[in-house]
Amino acid sequence: MSESHGMSKASGIALRNARPDTAQHRSVLAHIPELDGLRAIAVILVMINHYGPVALPFAWRIKAIGWVGVDLFFVLSGFLITRILLETRTHSHYYRDFYVRRTLRIFPLYYCVLLGLFASMLLWNHGERYHDLTEWGSPLWSWMYLGNVQMAVLGNTPHIFALIPLWSLHVEEQYYLVFPILVRMLQRQTLLKVLVGMLVLSPLLRQLLSWWAPDNPYISYMLLPCRFDALAIGALIALRPVHLGRRLLGALTIGGGILVYFLFATVGHNLWSDPFTRVWVYSLFPAVFGGVVLWILHYGSSWQTNWLNVAPLQFIGKTSYAIYLLQAPMAGALGTLLAGTALWSNDVCRFALICATTIGLAALSWRVLERPLLQLKERLAPHERVETMGGHPA
């Protein structure tokens, strides 16, 4: 699917006041709160895409584009994880520290949610929903973080919606298995070439798969090699945070965002599964998000980014992993309890109710499960300087 809040406020301010040419050093050592705000924006977009109302003016446009929240997660993950790996690549316990921390951060809540989902399927209506799921495919794929591969190969998704959003967590977990080895073994210049190669090969692979399986958009959308370009953009920023002038970077990011959205809305017909979107938009939106991350690195703590530091966004960003995991199970439970009621029939009320209950449960998860595990990580793997949970809520 957050960064450590253990750094003192004074040191954070000092690093924030550093000149732009110290951005790379700052990105390694400091907690950057604006990135938590970006993570909140990402999970909000995903929830709007899944449950957002369409009755309000232009709401359907936001709902149609909400899937890009996952791409924002990927870019943040590429950046945040890579900067940690680069900082610790020479440590003697490099692999142990990284995988202990990933395991403690990701697995407990994920498997608690998965266990709750499958238990409810077995207990509800004599296990009918679980039987339907097993007819679609084996649940073991989700347990092994391979559900994205399962859906891509089958070319469809399970009837249990709560399992579908997990695909992006599976992509990130597969990334965590592969990328630390590359960072450890390759020289920085070689790693740079590999990442640039991913930027080229991912859209090329999506184009080939679009020709080979035109009726299966999931194969281009859910497989790690097809989405590595978004992760690579974030990783490239961590590896070499190129400095552009304020006006040039702002113009490229804002202008690029407007252009990409125009292409998505017109050529891509507002569809995540459109052939044009599958090949090009999956790369172009992450490039825009990369511009946003660069802006925060070089020009953060300005009026353009300070709004990302407001308390509600910071809280949602901190608990975004749980929000992402719990959104679909909570929506399913509420739908079962409130089906047929006026409250559930109104899409605005339904969306507000799903958001409120999911965020509330995520806050409980943070207090009872996640935060204690963060403290445990410091005892079991204390060698990293900076704590991060990745860009995706994982």
* Residue-level pLDDT at 57: 72
pLDDT digits (tens, 9 = 90+) for 314-368: 999 999 999 999 999 999 999 989 988 988 999 999 999 999 999 999 999 999 9
Is 229 contained in some domain? yes
Is 88 contained in some domain? yes
pLDDT digits (tens, 9 = 90+) for 226-236: 999 999 999 99
pLDDT digits (tens, 9 = 90+) for 49-61: 999 998 777 788 8
Q: To the nearest 10°, the Cα dihedral for 171, 75, 233, 208?
A: 40
Q: Which domain holds residue 368?
A: 9-254+287-380
pLDDT digits (tens, 9 = 90+) for 126-142: 888 899 899 999 999 99
* Residue-level pLDDT at 374: 83
* pLDDT above 70 as % of the chain: 89
Kindly tell me the burial class for residue 78, based on how many C-beta atoms sit within 10 Å of its own C-beta (0-12, 13-18, 19 or more). buried
Is 174 contained in some domain? yes
Element (DSSP H or E) covering residue 216: none
* Residue-level pLDDT at 22: 39
Is 282 contained in some domain? no
Spatial distance between the Cα atoms of 71 and 168, rounded to a whole number of angstroms? 9
Domains of the chain: total: 1
pTM, whole model, 2 decimals?
0.89
Query: Could you tell me which residue, 45 or 373, shows the higher pLDDT?
Result: 45
Q: How far is CA 383 from the centre of its chain?
A: 25
Is 207 contained in some domain? yes
Is 386 contained in some domain? no
* Residue-level pLDDT at 151: 97
* Residue-level pLDDT at 14: 40
Is 393 contained in some domain? no
Please report the DSSP string for 114-166 in residue order.
Answer: HHHHHHHHHHGGGGHHHHHHHHH--THHHHTT-HHHHHHHHTS--S-GGGTTH
Spatial distance between the Cα atoms of 338 and 93, rounded to a whole number of angstroms? 51
* Residue-level pLDDT at 4: 36
pLDDT digits (tens, 9 = 90+) for 52-105: 998 777 788 889 999 999 999 999 999 999 999 999 999 888 999 999 999 999
* Residue-level pLDDT at 1: 53
* Residue-level pLDDT at 28: 47
* Residue-level pLDDT at 125: 82
pLDDT digits (tens, 9 = 90+) for 195-237: 999 999 999 999 999 999 999 999 999 999 999 999 999 999 9
Say if residue 389's pLDDT is above 50. no
Contact between 322 and 109 under an 8 Å Cβ cutoff? The reply is yes
Is 265 contained in some domain? no
* Residue-level pLDDT at 26: 42
SS (H, E, C) 310-346: CHHHHHHHHCHHHHHHHHHHHHHHHHHHHCCCHHHHC
